Chain A
Amino acid sequence: MTDNKLINLINISKSYGDNVVLDELNLYIRENEFLTLLGPSGCGKTTTLRIIGGFENPDKGQVIFEGKDITKLPPNERQLNTVFQKYALFTHMTIAENIAFGLKIKKKSKDYINDKIKYALKLVNLDGFENRMPDSLSGGQQQRIAIARAIVNEPKVLLLDEPLGALDLKLRQDMQYELIRLKNELGITFIYVTHDQEEALTMSDTVVVMNQGYIQQIGSPEDIYNEPQNAFVADFIGESNILPSIMIEDKLVNILGTSFACVDTGFGRNKPVDVVIRPEDIDLVKPEDGIIKGVVTSLLFKGVHYEMEVNANGHDWLVHSTDLVPVGNEVGIWVDPYDIQIMNKPESEDEEAVELDI
């Protein structure tokens, strides 16, 4: 991976009527990156993708592609191709005609086109489907054709708009591996839109978490999961305990009246903060060994672990543990300092509102 900025979005704003979808968005995408725009519906992720694809014009701002401003360029003149959410195959054409569509427009030779169709169908594991009609294919197969149709044009960037959204769980998981394989074989840039955090964490090099038209956090899947920068990200990515706390001093935080050692510094003294603790990072120990004591109030068997709620200091702590502690038992709660993630309190009311929504 190079540090080349292949696409650069500068100060992009977009609204529909009174509804502001994107507000001064800045984002760059590096060459050969698998970048995912992740967020709840209405967060502006699809609009961002459509602006890159050229299907929407931003009200303000620029789209730079390989150093050139392409903001005003129509989609047919952009070196990108899109895989649409519901495939958008041409139902009146055969599979081969679908795949050949872009190549015929570029007036490629017959032999070239036929080779490309063969190659693309092989790539998506659908050899021999040339003369079938799109209607006769399953959802997963149609999705692969949509991908094949896009990649034969050798785009520098492939845009994927919730491409797995309409597939069932098993197929979705298979397709995730398929996409990663494709990405590696083709060696091109993928920009992927999804609301599914698991999909985002599994496939991406970089995850961009968005909400209400703003970027909440950009980082590797590990960063996003382990070090969420605000309560929205923490809550959206996986399950977590978000606890209003006070940073007493560097490396010491008061959570619900009890002091915990942590590793974070630089928040100042006696500052209100939010603390995130992932449920699997809480260790249940003997009552006397814990930092605080609590009582187990509920217990669910989840397959690989038990999910428990422990009431301590007036809060129900969500705990994932492989050890079973029956309801009503007293336990101690222990959290390693490096498992405590400190976040600044949200500054704008907007972000606060979001927190309540989720």
Chain B
Amino acid sequence: MKLFNITNTKTNSSSNKNGGSSLGNDKVKWLSLPYIVWMIGFIILPLLVIIYYGLTSGNKLKNLFTLGNIRLILDPTNFKALRLSLELSLISTLICLLLAYPLAMILSRSRMKSNNFIVMIIILPMWMNFLLRTIAWQNILERTGIINTVLNFLKLPTLNIINTPLAIVLGMVYNFLPFMVLPIYNVLIKIDKDVVAAARDLGANSIQTFLKIILPLSIPGVISGITMVFVPSLTTFVISTILGGSKIILIGNVIEQHFRVGNWHAGSGLSIVLMFFILVSMAILSKYDKEGEGGSLW
């Protein structure tokens, strides 16, 4: 797996600096035409359509502009769902960060060619369907599941995790942890070993070296990782369906339900709210990413 940048504007190394390129032929540009057409047709246009749906009433007689669909978010049930989604996704993101950073550090320092290991962590589980893997957590967590069987055997009190917010957090951390490990790992291995040696040489102990050199230099990767975990956690409806029972409703579930019953305008309106939160979170994060470089995903 090779690394690449996800919000990159700054990775135009050597050959591209003058705008020219390795294939510095002006006609080459036109090769992007099929791609541009595709992206306008299937990325930009659909977003415009969903915004249109979200801002109109859907009334056959007077399909007029309205903020009613957006205002639905203020409905107590919906608002509760959004708040819970924000809470759980923030907690999951924080846990992912705390678990992933040490792992990425260990992997980046180990001498083995860890790219293979990284592939193993991220790609391999994906070949076991993501729904199935989440369902398997039911087996592990449920009342008569694996964890409780073990606890029973040890004569310890059993845990009631399944169908609680805790189970959803666990599902989120499980599913999205690799997306936190990868970008952090990718910035850490790019830090010049001599830069770390230089800090030691100038008198910094290992803690000072970490706080003053390694951590600041790895911020782009951390930012990328946070985005890659926070957005899917905030918007999931599958994990809450499988591990939360029917009682716990996240904003993703609300939107999915609206669409399931054909309530497209309301669902679109709430989707706009969701996109607003995604944009806000990215705007906040990009402030901390001074270089504007972003980390790399793979």
Contacts and interface: CB of A to CB of B under 8 A. Distances in A.
A322 B200 CA distance: 53
Given A92-B216, A92-B217, A153 B202 contact: yes
Nearest to A75: B200
A75 B197 contact: yes
Contacts of A92: 216-217, 290
Interface string B185-208: 000000010110111111111001
Contact of A88 (B194, B204, B205): B194
A302 interface: no
A329 interface: no
In this complex, the member of B195, B199, B202, B217 whose beta carbon has the largest number of chain A beta carbons within 10 angstroms is B202
B140 interface: no
Contacts of A267: none
Contacts of A88: 192, 194-195, 197-198
A106 B192 contact: no
A115 B144 CA distance: 70
A84 interface: yes
A102 B213 contact: no
Most buried by B among A54, A86, A91: A91
Given A76-B204, A105-B208, A90 B199 contact: yes
Contact of B203 (A76, A86, A89): A76
Interface of A: 53-55, 74-76, 80-82, 84-86, 88-92, 101-102, 105-106, 149-150, 153
Q: List 10 tightest A-B contacts by C-beta distance, closest first.
A: A102-B202, A88-B194, A88-B198, A75-B200, A84-B194, A105-B203, A88-B195, A82-B201, A76-B203, A92-B216
Interface of B: 192, 194-195, 197-205, 208, 212-213, 216-217, 290
27 contacts: A53-B197, A55-B197, A55-B200, A74-B200, A74-B205, A75-B201, A76-B200, A76-B201, A76-B203, A76-B204, A80-B201, A81-B202, A84-B197, A88-B195, A88-B198, A89-B195, A89-B198, A90-B199, A90-B213, A90-B217, A92-B217, A92-B290, A101-B202, A105-B208, A106-B203, A150-B201, A153-B203
